[in-house]
Amino acid sequence: MESRRQRPAHKRNLSLRDNAAASDSVHADLPHIAALIADGEITMGILNPVGCVAVATDGHNTLAMLKRRPDETLAQLLTRLDQAIERAWTEEIYTDEINPPVSSTLRAPRKRRGYP
Q: Model pTM?
A: 0.67
The pLDDT value recorded for residue 108 is: 54
**Where are the extended beta strands (E) located within the chain?**
41-47, 51-57, 62-67, 95-96
| pLDDT confidence band for 13 (50 / 70 / 90) | very low
pLDDT digits (tens, 9 = 90+) for 70-113: 999 999 999 999 999 999 999 999 999 999 887 655 555 555 56
Residue type, 48: N
What are the CB-based long-range contacts (under 8 Å, 24+) for 83-88? 83/32, 84/56, 85/32, 85/33, 85/36, 85/56, 86/32, 88/56, 88/61, 88/63, 88/64
Tell which wins on pLDDT, 116 or 12.
Answer: 116
Q: Is the dihedral of CA 20, 23, 28, 34 positive or negative?
A: negative
Q: Cα–Cα distance between 21 and 97 in angstroms, integer?
A: 33
| pLDDT confidence band for 51 (50 / 70 / 90) | very high
The pLDDT of residue 1 is above 80? no
